Amino acid sequence: MTDIELLAQRARRKAALAEAGLLARPKTEELRPLIDHTLLRASSREEDIRRLCREACQEGVASICIPSAWVPLAAQELSGEKIKVGTVAGFPLGALPLEIKIAEMNWAIANGAEEIDVVIHVGKLLDGRKDETLAEMEALRKASQGICLKLIVEAPCLNDEQKVTVARLASQARADFIKTCTGFSGAATLYDIALLKSAAGDEVKIKASGGIRTEAQALAMAAVGADRIGTSHMLAILGRS
């Protein structure tokens, strides 16, 4: 059995146990500090962002995640609060010149972003161009200026070997998080979280994102190894709606 096959076997077993409720999982109230309260709709308006910030403060979540144009407003709304202002770059496709992603990041950081979720150029990884993928990750790490960097790897597009490879590259690049996906190409799965967590090692955390709508989903994902949960259904997950 190869190294990747062994990791995959362990991930499948862990995912099955989590699905069956046989792994230790947090209480619902303990999900709060794991949640990135997310609003990435094109139709988002100023009052939507203000409401998102109020909800984040009321519930004590880890961060909000919004389009970069709204970062200055969110930074103002959350001034003095513990909630982090998060945004995205290269979203949702990732197939942008690196210089454009870095420019997006620089602008967001200058305007108050404290965490950035960046979509990597997945096509290069699918073509087997690992050196270029690593170089992009390292450049994004440098451009993050020391704030929390989450690399979105679009796991639904990858096979097991590619998932293990991208996790190890993200660890080598010293990313803070690997984020499962944007939600545009599929949803987060327990298996992907377990596999990415195992492959990345202890140095990189895992953010589950994409299709997370219920308390049961969020609890299972935390049980299998998700360190953050990105969702636009925070209120429902916490039983507030």
Q: Is 160 a catalytic residue?
A: no
Query: What is the Cα–Cα distance from 221 to 1, expressed in whole angstroms?
Result: 27
Tokens 């996906």 — which residue?
Answer: 181
Beta strands (DSSP E) in the chain are 35-38, 63-66, 84-89, 115-119, 148-152, 177-179, 205-209, 228-231
Of residues 84, 163, 205, 207, which has the active-site annotation?
207
Structure tokens at 217: 């989903």
Q: Is 117 a catalytic residue?
A: yes
Of residues 117, 176, 192, 227, which has the active-site annotation?
117
Q: How far is CA 23 from CA 19, 44, 144, 187, 204, in A?
A: 9, 37, 35, 21, 21
Helices and strands counted in the chain (H then E): 10, 8
Of residues 179, 192, 205, 227, which has the active-site annotation?
179
Q: Is 131 a catalytic residue?
A: no
HEC profile of 121-141: CHHHHHCCCHHHHHHHHHHHH
Q: Which amino acids are annotated catalytic? A: 117, 179, 207
